[in-house]
Amino acid sequence: MEYAIEIKGLTKDYETGFWRKKKVRALEDLTLKVRRGIIFGFLGGNGAGKTTTIKTLMRLQFPTAGSATILGHDIADVQMHQRIGYCPENPYFYDYLTARELLSHFGELFGIPSSDRFDKCETLLGAVGLDPKDRGKQLRKFSKGMLQRVGLAQALLNDPEVVFFDEPMSGLDPVGRREIRELIAGLRDKGTTVFMSTHILADIEALCDEVAILRKGKLAAAGDLAELLAGHEGDRVLEVNVQSVRADAIQDEVDLIAGAELFQKPNGVAIQISDESDLEAVLAVTRRHGGSLISVQPVKQSLEDLFVNESND
Amino acid sequence: MSAGSLPRILAVAKNAFREAVRDRVLYNLIVFVLLITASAIFLGELTAGQEARVIVNLGLTAMLIFGTFIAIFVGVSLVWKEIEKRTVYAIFSKPVGRGEYIIGKFIGLSATLLLNTIVMGVGVSLALLYVGNTSLAASIWPTVLLIFLELTIITAVAILFSSFSTPALSALLTFLVFVIGHFSTALRELSRDMASEAARLLFSGLYYIMPNFSHFSFATEAANGMTPNSAMLGGSIVYAVVYNIILITVTVVIFSRRNFK
């Protein structure tokens, strides 16, 4: 099976200092395979090596060791870039150009015929939600969120087979985030492979089929998101949220239920139980102390827990 | 570089030209036109009968100096600014080779300088027509071409330095090359007159490496109504083309190895 992206032993050292050069390893022996047609989430804390990886794949930096292919072609192959797209983190473009001119210029670089370029640019600027009245404004007048939208549009100009988004939701308001989330999900529906790095875990949970977590330049975990989360689930299965009751009032009685754990919450308590059959007993305790039930929900290991566990050793 | 390189090079060049125009680089023409107009009106009266010569001398010198300023200050920031502002990220994620980018930038800035030089040449010619010297108005143009060729070399030097250095240092180094290039003959004489072998080698090395701008200096002669002969013109064109190809090649080699942080 040909993978969309194959990374083998990718290592990147930076040299710091002027006279006495010191090597800092930003990425160490990263090996990763990304299947075609999926949304792949690339996670990690600040300085974990996410942007370094993407920049190396985009040949903005040269690897110290290792290799990588995209769509079966070595990353040094310039022509392969005809088939991929990239939106950098906090993108910045020629600010003397308008959004239309910028996209048209990039269209020229892709060799898109001038007859198709205008319509293509308008369609994409519309798809990323850039107001038509802003499309003729110079980019120096754009907000961060508007630049982000332009960045996403230019990454899709050539109908890429693989697209790399570095923090695609950065600078967007909640409405914008939702729109871009839908846009990214739509790309998968079209068969595009999306490789995205983000700090926003909700976006990963909502969008990604597979993830990789980087920690200090090394791969900490990788695989199917659902499997990774299942593998980290705890013992407790249900959480009962109750209001108008204090934890210290019911502590002794909850302690009698095997496997139950009590947490104080701002307006009441949360009780996690490991056996569904204990639910009635828990509800009976809280009722006796005047508590009223808010919710009963399954306890799921959140991506946040997984992320925190894997990225902070 | 491949068969499909040309459209990409031209796209980069077009954008570099557009950037220079929108950054108001051509505003220098206003100052130039004012200078020429003032000289045509006032200086001519002061130097009774010599007005045409003064206009040519002043016009061509200003053309070189203004052009050199543009070549240096736009040239040194052209590549550096894009790396600093990270606009190169979006460029090199597209099927654009680093060589194509550098050549495109060079052509774009050269085109800006060509337009600038032509407009200035027209200004000088009009001033000459105003003072009634029709023959000089036409005969200055081969010299204008020489000035433009010199500016392309300064542009290539500026881009070379900016591919690995900061704008301030690049500007200083390019200016030094400009000055040394104008004293090239002196360098050769120095290398001959030096007592020590090391100094002789140093100065003759500098003489051969540094551009020799005497190939393009014809302003004084042009003011006296002379035109460069075809041998000089042809030789200067070949010199500029070969020198620029070497400079751009070195720039591409350096730039192709750069990591963008």
Question: Radius of gyration of chain B from Cα atoms?
Answer: 20
B90 touching chain A per CB within 8 A: yes
- pLDDT, residue A299, reads 75
The domains of chain A, with CATH numbers, are: 5-231 (3.40.50.300), 238-300 (3.30.70)
Does the pLDDT of residue A235 top 70, yes or no? no
Predicted confidence (pLDDT) per residue in A252-262, tens digit: 998 888 888 88
- What residues in chain B have per-residue pLDDT under 50? none
Residue B39 DSSP label: I
* Minimal C-alpha gap between B245 and chain A (Å): 23
Exposed, middle or buried, A189 (CB in 10 Å: 0-12/13-18/19+)? exposed
B8/A109 CB distance under 8 A: yes
The 3-state DSSP class for residue B170 equals helix
Question: Radius of gyration of chain A from Cα atoms?
Answer: 24
- pLDDT, residue B24, reads 85
Predicted confidence (pLDDT) per residue in A236-275, tens digit: 678 899 988 888 889 899 888 888 888 888 888 999 888 8
Residues of A in contact with B18 (CB under 8 A): 96-97
Does the pLDDT of residue A6 top 60, yes or no? yes
Spell out the long-range contacts of A261-267 with Cβ–Cβ below 8 A and sequence spacing 24 or more. Answer: A261/A236, A265/A241, A267/A243
Stronger pLDDT, B49 or A121, i.e. the higher one: A121
Secondary structure tally for chain A: helices H, strands E: 10, 14
- pLDDT, residue A231, reads 63
Predicted confidence (pLDDT) per residue in A56-76, tens digit: 999 999 999 999 999 999 999
The 3-state DSSP class for residue A212 equals strand
Does the pLDDT of residue A17 top 80, yes or no? no
* Minimal C-alpha gap between A61 and chain B (Å): 4
- pLDDT, residue A264, reads 87
Residues of B in contact with A105 (CB under 8 A): 11, 14-15
Provide the mean pLDDT of chain A.
89
- pLDDT, residue A297, reads 83
Could you count the other beta carbons within 10 Å of the beta carbon of residue B142? 18
Predicted confidence (pLDDT) per residue in B93-116, tens digit: 999 999 999 999 999 999 999 999
The 3-state DSSP class for residue B144 equals helix
Give the closest residue to A37 by CA, choosing from A9, A71, A68: A71
ipTM above 0.90, yes or no: no
B256 touching chain A per CB within 8 A: no
The stretch A157-163 carries a mean pLDDT of: 96
Provide the mean pLDDT of chain B.
90
B96/A91 CB distance under 8 A: no
Q: How confident is the model at residue A22 (pLDDT cuts 50, 70, 90)?
A: confident
Which single residue is written with the structure tokens 């551009």? B211
Predicted confidence (pLDDT) per residue in A193-216, tens digit: 999 998 788 888 889 999 999 988
B93 touching chain A per CB within 8 A: yes
A108 touching chain B per CB within 8 A: yes
- pLDDT, residue B49, reads 56
Q: Which of residues 23-52 of B touch A (CB under 8 A)?
A: 23
Q: Cβ contacts of residue B25 below 8 Å, gap of 6+? A: B70, B74, B112, B116
- pLDDT, residue B114, reads 97
Exposed, middle or buried, B100 (CB in 10 Å: 0-12/13-18/19+)? buried
Q: How confident is the model at residue A304 (pLDDT cuts 50, 70, 90)?
A: confident
Which strands, in side-by-side order, build the sheet including A268-273?
Answer: A261-265, A268-273, A238-243, A292-298
CA-to-CA separations, A147 to A122, A139, A195, B63, B244, in angstroms, rounded: 16, 7, 20, 39, 37
How far is Cα B26 from Cα B246, in angstroms, rounded to an integer?
28
* Geometric angle at alpha carbon A275, from A274 and A276, rounded to 5°: 125
**Nearest C-alpha in A relative to B94:** A81
How far is Cα B112 from Cα B82, in angstroms, rounded to an integer?
18
Nearest CB to B90 within list A14, A59, A93: A93
